[in-house]
């Protein structure tokens, strides 16, 4: 991946609906080579998809909940079953397998505290092998859906003091 590929990725993260012509202009290519590079980045798995970002509030889901699940045991079979259950819960928008105290971290969107309670009672508690559930509610979003840094070889450095 060279600097032009990285520039393409940076631009597409800012605006996934940009036209190929505008993208080519921004990264200093003509349209045909730009489109070839985009298609190659897709084929290589650097670009994994395109989507619209939708407001949870607009859908009546203003509450973001983070749930840490800890498992009783960690067999291949039990983790497969746990992950199947998690994937079947539509309110779970993200799920991460964690190192540390908890095993899974879920990001959940709900409309109310009552809705979350029903979700816990009907779906989350019924997940086999879960020994504990720890819930945290987000009351403000400080930074959300930031683009990934695409510049290779550049590390974060504190400037000033």
pLDDT along the chain (161 residues), means of 10: 95 96 98 98 96 94 97 94 97 97 97 98 95 96 88 52 40
Predicted local distance difference test score (pLDDT) of residue 151: 82
SS3 content of the chain, % helix, strand, coil (to 5): 35, 20, 45
Predicted local distance difference test score (pLDDT) of residue 161: 40
Predicted local distance difference test score (pLDDT) of residue 154: 52
Give me the domains of the chain, ranges plus CATH numbers: 3-43 (1.10.10.10), 63-138 (3.30.70.920)
Enter the pTM of the model: 0.83
Residue 120: CB partners within 8 Å, gap ≥ 6?
133, 135
In three-state secondary structure terms, 129 is coil
Give me 18's structure tokens. 């940009």
Backbone angles phi, psi at 48, to 5 degrees: -105, 0
């Amino acid at each position: 991946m060279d600097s032009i590929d990285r520039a393409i990725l940076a631009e597409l993260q800012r605006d996934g609906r940009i036209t190929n012509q505008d993208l080519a202009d921004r990264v200093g290519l003509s349209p045909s080579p730009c489109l070839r590079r985009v298609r190659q980045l897709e084929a290589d798995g650097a670009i994994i998809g395109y989507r619209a970002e939708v407001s949870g509030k607009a859908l009546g889901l203003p509450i973001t909940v983070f749930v840490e699940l800890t498992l009783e045991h960690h067999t291949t079979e039990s983790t497969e079953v746990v992950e199947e259950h998690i994937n079947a819960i539509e309110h779970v928008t993200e799920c991460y397998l964690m190192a540390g105290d908890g095993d899974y971290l879920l990001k959940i969107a709900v409309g109310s505290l009552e809705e979350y309670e029903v979700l816990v009672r009907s779906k989350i508690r019924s997940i086999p092998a879960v020994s504990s559930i720890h819930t945290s509610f987000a009351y403000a979003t400080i930074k959300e859906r930031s683009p990934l840094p695409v510049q290779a070889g550049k590390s974060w450095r504190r400037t000033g003091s």
